[in-house]
C-alpha cells in the first residue's frame, strides 16, 4: 500500500480550493484551510510535505504563516509554494524572505502547479530519507567508535597483562627454590608435591600467555607447530572456571608439518575461534568442545566444533562483516559479549597465509569451523607481510 504525501492548501476563496482539489486529486493527501489561523491550527497535527499558500488571507497573512513554518523545527521538511495574485518583484522577494521555496502567480496553469507540486514532494521525500540515513550513520559511527575504543583498551590491557605475567616468573622461581629445600627436608610430605604441581601449572599458564602475545611488535617469522598453538590456547582457557569445570574438551590432534609465520597470528586466530565456541556453550545443557587437526593432501586442516546454540542461516553470511555480532554488545555480568571485530580479524590473518575458513552450523545443535592452511611457504597477501595483512 502506497502512502500519499501530505499537502495543505490555504486560500480564502472556496472556488480556488475546489480547483486545487481537482488538480491534485489522487496525487497527495490534501487538507484545506481558508485562513491563516486555520492553516496554522491544522499544521500542528497534519505536518505536511508541501503548503500551497495564498498571501492575502483574513487574519494573519501568508507571509506570517510562512515565517512561522520556517521558525518551527517540526516543519524542517515542509516546503512552501506561495500561490498569489501579487506579482510584483518586491512582493515575490518578500515571500522568499519569509522563507518560501517558490512563487506561483495567479492565474496559474494547472500543469505548472502539478509539476511544481511533484518536484517539492520529491524533494521533501528525499530530505526525509537523507535525514534518516544521516541519523543511522551517526548512531553507527557512535557505536563503532565505542567498539573501537573498547578494542584498543583490550589490546592495551593485553600488552600490559603480558608484562605483568612475565614478572610473575621471579616470585615463582623463588617459590620453587624454597620448595626444593622443603622437599629435601621433608621428603615424605605429600602436600609439598601438590605445591610443586601447582607451581608447574602456573609456569605452563605463564608460558602460554607469553607465547600468545609474543611477536606483536617486530615481525618474527618462525616454524610453528599448529598443534602446540591449540594446546597452549586450551591451557589459557583452563584458568576460566566456567571452561574448566563445565565444558568437556576433546582433542584429536594428528601429526602435522610446521607452518612458517608469526606465532601471534595463529594464537590470536585460533584463540578467537575457540572463544566463540566457548561462548556458544554458555546456556547449553550439553557443553562439549572438540578440536581436531589432520593433514589433507598438502593442506593442514583444523576443525573446532561445539554443541552450542548454533548460528541462523541468514547470520552465517554476515559472520565476517566488521562489527556484526550475535552477542550482546554490553552483556550481563558473567555472560559472554562481543563487538564483531574478532572474526574479520581471524579471516584476514588466515587469508594472509593463503588459507581460508568454512563455517557450518545448525541452529540449536552446534557449529563447526574448519580452517584450511597450506603447509608450505610464508603468508603473503597482496604483496604484504603477514603482520601487515593482520
The number of CA neighbours under 13 Å toward the Cβ of 186 is 8
Mean pLDDT, rounded, for 180-202: 82
> Residue 335 above 80 pLDDT?
no
Q: Residue 223: beta bridge partners?
A: 260
User: Do 40 and 69 contact (CB within 8 A), yes or no?
Assistant: no
> Residue 129 above 60 pLDDT?
yes
All three cell numbers of 38, joined, read 486555520
- Greater pLDDT, 384 or 292: 292
Note the pLDDT tens digit of each residue in 206-238: 776 666 555 544 456 888 899 999 998 888 787
Q: Start-end ranges of CATH 3.30.565.10 in the chain?
A: 222-229+240-389
**% of the chain with per-residue pLDDT over 70:** 80
Choice among 169-173, 247-251, 253-257, 279-283 with the minimum mean pLDDT: 169-173
Q: Which CATH number fits domain 6-133: 3.30.56.10, 3.40.50.1440, 3.40.640.10, 3.40.50.2300?
A: 3.40.50.2300
Give CA–CA dist 193/175, Å, rounded.
13
Angle formed at CA 33 by CA 27 and CA 39, multiple of 5 degrees: 105
Mean pLDDT, rounded, for 24-34: 89
> Residue 68 above 90 pLDDT?
yes
pLDDT of residue 228: 92
Average pLDDT over all residues of the chain:
82
Note the pLDDT tens digit of each residue in 74-96: 999 999 999 888 878 888 899 89
**% of the chain with per-residue pLDDT over 90:** 31
> Residue 165 above 70 pLDDT?
no
pLDDT band with cut points at 50, 70 and 90 for residue 34: very high
Mean pLDDT, rounded, for 113-119: 90
pLDDT of residue 329: 57
What are the φ and ψ backbone dihedral angles of 371, each rounded to 5 degrees? -105, 125
pLDDT of residue 166: 64
Q: Start-end ranges of CATH 3.40.50.2300 in the chain?
A: 6-133
pLDDT of residue 85: 84
pLDDT band with cut points at 50, 70 and 90 for residue 142: confident
Mean pLDDT, rounded, for 306-315: 88
> Residue 337 above 80 pLDDT?
no
pLDDT of residue 318: 82
Give CA–CA dist 247/266, Å, rounded.
23
CATH code linked to domain 222-229+240-389:
3.30.565.10
pLDDT band with cut points at 50, 70 and 90 for residue 181: confident
Supply the DSSP string of 264-333, one letter for each residue. HHHHHHHHHHHHHHHHHTTT-SS-EEEEEEEEETTEEEEEEEE-S----HHHHTTTTSTT--SS-SSPPT
pLDDT band with cut points at 50, 70 and 90 for residue 175: confident
Note the pLDDT tens digit of each residue in 362-382: 988 999 999 999 976 444 333
User: Do 84 and 54 contact (CB within 8 A), yes or no?
Assistant: yes
Amino acid at each position: 500500500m502506497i502512502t500519499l504525501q501530505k499537502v495543505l492548501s490555504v486560500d480564502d476563496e472556496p472556488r480556488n480550493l475546489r480547483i486545487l482539489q481537482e488538480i491534485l486529486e489522487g496525487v497527495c493527501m490534501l487538507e484545506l484551510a481558508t485562513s491563516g489561523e486555520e492553516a496554522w491550527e491544522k499544521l500542528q497535527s497534519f505536518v505536511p510535505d508541501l503548503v500551497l499558500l495564498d498571501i492575502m488571507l483574513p487574519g494573519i497573512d501568508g507571509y506570517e504563516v510562512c515565517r512561522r513554518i520556517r521558525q518551527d523545527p517540526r516543519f524542517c521538511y515542509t516546503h512552501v509554494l506561495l500561490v498569489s495574485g501579487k506579482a510584483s518583484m518586491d512582493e515575490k522577494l518578500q515571500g522568499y524572505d519569509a522563507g518560501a521555496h517558490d512563487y506561483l502567480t495567479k492565474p496559474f496553469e494547472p500543469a505548472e502547479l502539478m509539476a511544481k507540486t511533484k518536484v517539492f514532494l520529491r524533494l521533501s521525500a528525499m530530505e526525509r530519507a537523507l535525514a534518516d540515513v544521516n541519523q543511522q550513520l551517526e548512531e553507527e559511527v557512535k557505536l563503532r567508535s565505542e567498539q573501537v575504543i573498547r578494542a584498543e583498551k583490550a589490546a592495551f590491557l593485553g600488552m600490559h597483562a603480558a608484562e605483568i605475567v612475565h614478572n610473575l616468573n621471579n616470585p615463582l622461581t623463588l617459590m620453587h627454590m624454597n620448595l626444593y629445600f622443603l622437599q629435601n627436608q621433608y621428603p615424605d610430605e605429600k602436600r609439598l608435591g601438590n605445591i610443586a604441581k601447582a607451581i608447574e601449572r602456573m609456569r605452563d599458564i605463564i608460558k602460554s600467555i607469553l607465547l600468545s602475545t609474543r611477536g606483536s611488535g617486530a615481525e618474527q617469522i618462525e616454524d610453528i607447530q599448529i598443534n602446540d598453538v591449540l594446546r597452549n590456547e586450551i591451557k589459557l582457557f583452563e584458568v576460566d572456571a566456567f571452561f574448566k569445570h563445565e565444558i568437556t574438551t576433546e582433542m584429536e590432534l594428528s601429526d602435522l608439518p610446521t607452518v612458517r609465520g608469526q606465532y601471534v597470528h595463529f594464537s590470536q586466530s585460533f584463540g578467537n575461534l575457540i572463544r566463540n565456541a566457548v561462548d556458544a556453550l554458555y546456556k547449553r545443557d550439553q557443553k562439549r568442545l572438540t578440536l581436531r587437526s589432520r593433514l589433507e593432501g598438502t593442506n593442514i586442516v583444523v576443525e573446532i566444533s561445539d554443541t552450542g546454540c548454533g548460528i541462523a542461516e541468514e547470520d552465517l553470511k554476515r559472520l565476517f562483516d566488521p562489527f556484526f555480532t550475535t552477542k550482546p554488545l554490553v552483556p550481563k555480568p558473567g555472560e559472554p559479549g562481543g563487538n564483531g571485530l574478532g572474526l574479520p580479524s581471524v579471516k584476514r590473518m588466515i587469508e594472509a597465509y593463503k588459507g581460508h575458513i568454512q563455517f557450518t552450523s545448525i541452529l540449536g545443535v552446534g557449529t563447526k569451523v574448519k580452517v584450511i592452511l597450506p603447509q608450505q611457504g610464508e603468508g603473503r597477501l597482496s604483496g604484504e607481510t603477514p603482520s601487515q595483512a593482520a
